[in-house]
Structures are given as structure tokens and as C-alpha cells.
Amino acid sequence: MSEVREVTDATWEHDVVKSDLPVLVDFWAPWCGPCRMVAPIVEELAQEYAGKVNFLKINTDENPMVPAKFGIRSIPSLLIFKGGELKGTIVGFRPKSDLKKRLDEALA
């Protein structure tokens, strides 16, 4: 069973760039309504892709360096990394079917 773990500015290199598995990172903040709507979908995907993809979330209020590096201007933003490289970006709330499609495309 996979879970969505927290990543920070300090752990980014280890958790995302050096990950053996592809990684989906959810950029969010506690005050963001659409972020709260997408979180359960990301958790469902973490279960479905367990062992294939690592699912992480980063609080943009507490960790400003990584969002600035990737030009995050709107949240939620979901970034997909493979081999440490950015492979896909999803901005705003999207239905689960859209997220799965984009994730599968980025992983292909």
C-alpha cells in the first residue's frame, strides 16, 4: 500500500531527483480549496500505481525554493518526474481520468 509523503526543499534532491521510480509531486497549500479537492484523487492514484510511481506533496507556503525553481504560479500543480527530469505538468483541478491519462503519457 502506497501513501502520499511530504517532500521539502531540503529533501527534494533525494526524494525526487535521485528517485529510482517516477515521481508525481503535488504542489499545494492548506488554504487552497482546489488542492483539498485533488488530494483524495492523488491518494487513490498512489494506491493504483503503488510500486510503480512515488507520490509526494510539497507545501508551497513552507517550501518556497522548489516551487520558485519550477515557476509554480498556480496551485494545485502536479509535476511528473522520471529519471529526475520533468516529464509532465498538470495545473489546477482535473478529474481522475485526466490525471491518469497524463500520468500514463509521461511514464510511457
The residue extents of the domains of the chain are: 5-107
Question: What confidence score (pLDDT) does residue 108 get?
Answer: 86
Question: What confidence score (pLDDT) does residue 106 get?
Answer: 86
Residues of the chain with pLDDT under 50: none
Q: Which class is 5-107 in CATH?
A: alpha beta
Question: What confidence score (pLDDT) does residue 1 get?
Answer: 53
Q: What is the distance between the alpha carbons of residues 82 and 93, in angstroms, rounded to a whole number?
A: 22
Query: To the nearest 10°, the Cα dihedral for 105, 83, 90, 108?
Result: 0
DSSP classification of residue 84: T
Phi/psi at 10 (nearest 5 deg)? -70, -30
Active site residues: 32, 35
What is the pTM (predicted TM-score) of this model?
0.95
